[in-house]
Amino acid sequence: MNNTTNRGKVIIIVAPSGAGKTTLAKRLLKEHPSIRFSVSATTRPPREGEKNGEDYYFLTDEEFKRRIKKGHFLEWETYNGNRYGTLQSEVDKLVESGYFPLLDIEVKGALNVQKIYGSDAISIFIEPPSLEVLKNRLLNRGSETDASIKRRLERAEMEIEYAEDFDYTVTNDDLDTAYAEIQAIIEPFITD
């Protein structure tokens, strides 16, 4: 753990589906012990192997709604019929312990978190080199239907419009190059 007199910064990484955000985030977590993933809450059921409090906080819809009313979430949204949200208590606990919480969230929620934490946040938008490249990446996954690819591309177009609202934009044309750019952004703040 870091010296508790040092407050960590919140690292917000945002990207359209297929832009490489998860791969880049996992690498940051692996290489920087002071960066910790902020565990989100969801109403979807756990998938095989997922653990409560590790992968997500699995909440009932009623509990999620109760926490919304009490203002516990920094951001939340409904996606594919399930709710997902970032608990402020989780983020604050990590920051106050000197860690750098990593949030992997959607655009509008990220803008809200950025507003709440201000200079205590670093926001990075990962963009694909083009929508055509993004489409090919989604196709190569082999797990997407034509309809889901269409929805993801429409959402990506909307999300890319917000790129300039973030502190930094990194184009992921090459994973190692994009990672090096992210490293250069966060290195002045991170204390491993």
Q: 3-class DSSP state for residue 36?
A: strand
Round to whole Å and give the CA distance between 43 and 45: 6
Question: Which residue has 């929508």 as its token pair?
Answer: 131
Give the pLDDT score at 6: 56
Distances (CA, A) of 63 to 2, 28, 88, 134, 147: 33, 32, 16, 36, 32
pLDDT at 134: 84
Asked if residue 15 belongs to a known ligand binding site, the reply is: yes
Residue 190 has pLDDT above 50, yes or no: yes
Q: Please state the rounded mean pLDDT for residues 153-169.
A: 93
- Residue 43 CA to residue 101 CA, distance in Å, equals 22
Q: Does the annotation list 38 as a binding residue?
A: no
Q: Indicate whether 114 pLDDT > 90.
A: yes
Q: How confident is the model at residue 136 (pLDDT cuts 50, 70, 90)?
A: confident
* Residue from 133, 122, 121, 144 nearest 174 by CA: 133
User: Which pLDDT value is given to residue 105?
Assistant: 86
Query: Is 17 known to sit in a ligand binding site?
Result: yes
Per cent of the chain over pLDDT 90 is 65
What is the reported pLDDT for 5? 44
Q: Contact 124/167 with Cβ under 8 angstroms?
A: yes
> Is 20 assigned a ligand-binding role in the annotation?
yes
Mean pLDDT confidence for 115-140: 90
Task: Report the candidate in 80, 104, 103 with the shortest Cα–Cα distance to residue 91.
Answer: 103
**Chain-centroid distance, C-alpha 56:** 13
Q: What is the pLDDT of residue 83?
A: 94
Q: Tell me what the pLDDT averaged over the chain comes to.
A: 89
pLDDT digits (tens, 9 = 90+) for 1-50: 444 345 779 999 999 888 888 899 999 999 999 999 999 999 999 988 99
- pLDDT of res. 1: 43
The answer to whether 22 is a known ligand-binding residue is: yes
46, two tokens: 């756990």
User: 16 labelled as ligand-binding?
Assistant: yes
Superfamily of domain 10-185: P-loop containing nucleotide triphosphate hydrolases (3.40.50.300)
Residue 144 pLDDT > 80, yes or no?
Answer: no
* Distance between CA atoms of residues 171 and 129, nearest Å: 6
Please report the pLDDT score of residue 191 as a whole number: 66
Taking only the tens place, the pLDDT of each residue in 58-82 is 999 999 999 999 999 999 988 878 9
